[in-house]
Amino acid sequence: MLDETKKHHKPQRLKGYNYSSPGYYFVTFNTKVRHEDILCSIQTPTETTYLYVGPDHLGGPSPNLQPIICLTPAGDTLRTLIESVHQIYCNAYIDCYVIMPDHVHLLVYLEPVKSDPPRWSGPTGKTASLPQIINALKSMTSKRIGYSPWQEDYYDHIIRNDTDLQATREYIQNNPLKWILDRTEPNGQEENAK
């Protein structure tokens, strides 16, 4: 019997799908505490923070000011682990990622695994499925920082084509700016909660 006072989420995995299949996967996982700077803080840049130095705007303000992400110790630990995924799992690459204050977005690429890989195919030669990679990132971060900041589950989206891949890369890249806009635009918090 379901407890009506608790939120119940439907399973996030695609039933029957083999998550060790080659391809791109967009993954998001969240901290238990939401709307706080658990993994980083995001600061709005000022015109004096970044200067665009180019032939037309020598020393002028950058036309594309990017938010500044200041990682906490937990966020920096996670960054180190994300950047070492391929050293641990020879079939996995992190295409791009962003660490946000209370969540993480990753674009993971799993390459095909040959039935008889060379002994030196990667620093460890280990291969992994998407759930194994995400669970390892979360558990190793928790172990290194001394507590678990994570919600139990994660969200994934299987990238189906080049258009989807490009849109996902842009979404990840623009997420810090969206974070700032959601908090500075009128009704931003309400819009973000939807």
Q: Could you count the other beta carbons within 10 Å of the beta carbon of residue 54?
A: 11
Token pair recorded at residue 37? 């700077």
Q: What is the DSSP string of 84-149?
A: THHHHBTTEEEEEEEE-SSEEEEEEEEPPPPSS--TTSSSS-B---HHHHHHHHHHHHHHHHTS--
The CA-based angle 32-8-137, given to 5 degrees, is: 40
**Which pLDDT score, from 0 to 100, does residue 40 have?**
97
Query: What does each C-alpha distance from 43 to 51, 53, 100 come to in angstroms?
Result: 16, 22, 11
pLDDT along the chain (194 residues), means of 10: 48 71 96 96 69 42 71 97 95 96 97 65 74 96 98 95 97 93 67 41
Angstrom distance (rounded) from CA 18 to CA 68: 37
**Which pLDDT score, from 0 to 100, does residue 59 have?**
43
**Which pLDDT score, from 0 to 100, does residue 194 have?**
35
Query: What does each C-alpha distance from 160 to 16, 24, 63, 108, 165 come to in angstroms?
Result: 17, 8, 33, 13, 8
Angstrom distance (rounded) from CA 30 to CA 32: 7
CATH number of this structure's domain 23-39+72-188, picked from the four choices 3.30.530.20, 3.30.70.1290, 3.90.1570.10, 3.90.45.10? 3.30.70.1290
**Which pLDDT score, from 0 to 100, does residue 123 have?**
52
Residues 155, 160, 162, 164, CA torsion sign: negative
Angstrom distance (rounded) from CA 65 to CA 131: 35
Domain extent listing, the chain? 23-39+72-188
**Which pLDDT score, from 0 to 100, does residue 190 have?**
41
Q: Could you count the other beta carbons within 10 Å of the beta carbon of residue 34?
A: 11
Contact call for residues 64 and 47 (beta carbons, < 8 A): no
The CA-based angle 43-44-46, given to 5 degrees, is: 125
